[in-house]
């Protein structure tokens, strides 16, 4: 690439990035420390530099880096696969001469790299863009990889990236240990307010993962930053996470996966629209508006998913319009939408019964909520005040607990 072209590409959207990611920190300052070592890379479609070059293309071009293997999480290296769709090694990326191992296959064992995959690797780089919600599976892919690397005595370098929702606001209760799963493998609130590097430090030290860990931090990131304030380009980390607006509603919208409500997959606004063929949009929207939830308005609408739940069927529902993202409480909003659907349509509403993230015994909604409380509150029509008080207590305790693992103040 000519120097002038590369200069223009650095200024994506006409502005220069204010934040340097851990990947760029590695390239600029630490690449010589990898000289002579065989390196693995856990990456996906959003593992890019600020001028939109893929990590697996940039790193092999550096004379100090010997890239020996690639690892891809759920959705594959290029984000081509839908949720809970098995990815084979052959499907996960380009033919580059470098082995590519999928960490999302046909069973739970496929979620972890094997000793054979890690053989000969001395340093594994983890460069995944999270979206700030506990059930987004990339955090757990990093955790499982750290555990496997500890057993194989492989050093892990986490290349840090921004939390798109910022690092200040936290929402939702912790996961109970008996409900740990691939959508919550350690005690963590739903909207956790951590970067992937901070998460890795926390579980490595506080929860005893105990691998040889190094975090390469960002430069220029502040906890109050939303992603669109970093100057970095938004690249879809998964097929149904097209925009920052999607990530903002996701801490509540993902809960719909545990129900027979469509979460808007198969539309151009996944997680921002929710509904089902049996929902009447106008009274549903009016009921949700009457709750006075902060920072959000509900517009009644009909939509027709092209795939996933109710593909090709007309669904009634609502679109969430976030009017003030600083006041908006996505988790509470998602809970209230589920409560409203069950209250208005008790015969039609149902919990998901199909297997969820390789789990066949525990209901999906319990895994997402981190316990049985949400299912019980909805089924019994109970008030949320007790649950909200519990969330507040757990959030206060988590804020104190996480302090020593924070990298950015």
pLDDT for residue 124? 98
Classify residue 128 as exposed, middle or buried by CB count within 10 Å of its CB (0-12, 13-18, 19+): buried
pLDDT of residue 9 exceeding 70? no
pLDDT for residue 65? 95
Classify residue 222 as exposed, middle or buried by CB count within 10 Å of its CB (0-12, 13-18, 19+): middle
The whole-angstrom separation of Cα 198 and Cα 215 is 8
pLDDT for residue 289? 98
Question: Tokens at residue 100, please?
Answer: 């590519």
Question: Tokens at residue 93, please?
Answer: 């990326």
Alpha carbon separation from 319 to 52, 168, 290, 339 (Å, rounded) = 31, 26, 15, 16
Name the least confident of 85-89, 125-129, 295-299: 85-89
Instruction: Give mean pLDDT, residues 29-58.
Output: 96
pLDDT of residue 48 exceeding 60? yes
The whole-angstrom separation of Cα 310 and Cα 315 is 8
Query: Whole-model pTM?
Result: 0.94
pLDDT for residue 148? 98
Question: Tokens at residue 198, please?
Answer: 């901070």
pLDDT for residue 79? 86
pLDDT band at residue 409, thresholds of 50, 70 and 90?
confident
Average model confidence (pLDDT) across the chain = 93
Question: Tokens at residue 222, please?
Answer: 């502040």
Beta bridge partner(s), residue 69: 40
Which domains, from first to last, does the chain contain? 3-233 (3.40.50.12170), 244-371 (3.90.1150.140)
Query: HEC string of the chain?
Result: CCHHHHHHHHCHHHCCCCCECHHHHHHHHHHHHHCCCEEEEEECCCCECCCCCEHHHHHHHCCCCEEEEEEECCCCCCCCCCCCCCCCCCCCCCCCCCCEEECCCCCHHHHCCCHHHHCCCCEEEEECCCCCECCCCHHHHHHHHHHHHHHHCCEEEEECCCCCCCCCCCECCCCCHHHCECCECCCCCCECCCCHHHHHHHHHHHCCCCCCEEEECCECCCCCCCHHHCCCCCCCCCCCCCCHHHHHHHHHHHHHHHECCECCCCCCCCCCEEEECCCCHHHHHHHHHCCCCCCEEEEEEEECCCCCCCCCCCEEEEEEEECCCCCCCHHHHHHHHHHHHHHHCCCCCCECCCCECCECCCCHHHHHHCCCHHHHHHHHCCCCHHHHHHHHHHHHHHHHHHHHHCCCC
Instruction: Give mean pLDDT, residues 354-361.
Output: 94
pLDDT of residue 91 exceeding 80? no
The whole-angstrom separation of Cα 236 and Cα 227 is 13
pLDDT of residue 380 exceeding 60? yes
Percent of the chain exceeding pLDDT 70 equals 94
The whole-angstrom separation of Cα 163 and Cα 129 is 8
pLDDT for residue 92? 60
Kindly report the length of the chain.
409
Sign (positive or negative) of CA dihedral 203, 209, 210, 211: negative
Instruction: Give mean pLDDT, residues 299-309.
Output: 97
Instruction: Give mean pLDDT, residues 65-83.
Output: 93
Instruction: Give mean pLDDT, residues 252-272.
Output: 98
pLDDT for residue 1? 37
pLDDT band at residue 258, thresholds of 50, 70 and 90?
very high
The whole-angstrom separation of Cα 254 and Cα 249 is 8
Contact 337, 343 (CB under 8 A): no
Burial 58-76 (b: 16+ CB within 10 A, else e): bbbeeeebbbbbbbbbbbb
Burial 254-269 (b: 16+ CB within 10 A, else e): bbbbbbbbbbbbbbeb
pLDDT for residue 246? 98
């Amino acid at each position: 690439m000519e120097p002038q072209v590369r200069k223009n590409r650095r200024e994506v959207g006409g502005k220069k990035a204010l934040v340097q990611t851990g990947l760029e920190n590695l390239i600029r300052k630490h690449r010589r420390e990898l000289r002579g070592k065989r390196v693995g890379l856990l990456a996906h479609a959003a593992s890019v530099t600020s001028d939109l070059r893929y990590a697996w293309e940039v790193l092999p071009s550096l004379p100090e880096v010997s890239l020996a293997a690639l690892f891809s999480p759920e959705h594959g290296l290029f984000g081509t696969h839908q949720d809970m769709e098995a990815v084979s090694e052959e499907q996960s990326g380009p033919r580059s001469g470098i082995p590519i191992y999928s960490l999302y296959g046909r069973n739970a064992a496929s979620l972890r790299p094997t000793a054979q995959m890690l053989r000969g690797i001395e340093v594994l780089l983890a460069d995944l863009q999270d979206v700030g919600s506990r059930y987004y599976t990339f955090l757990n892919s990093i955790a499982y990889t750290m555990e496997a690397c500890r057993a194989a005595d492989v050093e892990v370098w986490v290349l840090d990236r921004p939390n798109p929702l910022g690092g200040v606001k936290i929402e939702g209760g912790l996961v109970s240990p008996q409900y740990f799963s691939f959508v919550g493998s350690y005690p963590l609130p739903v909207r956790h307010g951590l970067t992937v590097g901070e998460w890795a430090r926390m579980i490595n030290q506080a929860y005893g993962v105990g691998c040889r860990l190094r975090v390469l931090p960002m430069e220029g990131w502040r906890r109050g930053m939303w992603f669109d304030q970093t100057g970095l380009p938004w690249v879809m980390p998964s097929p149904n996470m097209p925009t920052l607006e999607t990530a903002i509603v996701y801490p509540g919208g993902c809960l719909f996966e545990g129900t027979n409500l469509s979460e808007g997959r198969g539309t151009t606004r996944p997680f921002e629209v929710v509904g089902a063929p049996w929902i009447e949009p106008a009274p549903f929207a009016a009921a949700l508006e009457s709750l006075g939830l902060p920072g959000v308005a509900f517009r009644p609408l009909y939509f027709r998913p092209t795939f996933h739940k109710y593909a090709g069927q007309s669904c009634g529902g609502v679109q969430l319009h976030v009017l003030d993202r600083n006041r908006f409480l996505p988790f509470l909003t998602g809970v209230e939408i589920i409560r409203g659907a069950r209250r208005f349509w008790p015969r039609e509403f149902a919990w998901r019964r199909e297997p969820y993230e390789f789990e066949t015994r525990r209901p999906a909604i319990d895994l997402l909520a981190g316990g049985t409380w949400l299912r019980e509150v909805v089924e019994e029509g109970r008030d949320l005040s007790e649950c909200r008080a519990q969330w507040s207590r757990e959030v206060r305790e988590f804020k104190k607990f996480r302090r020593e693992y924070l990298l950015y103040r």
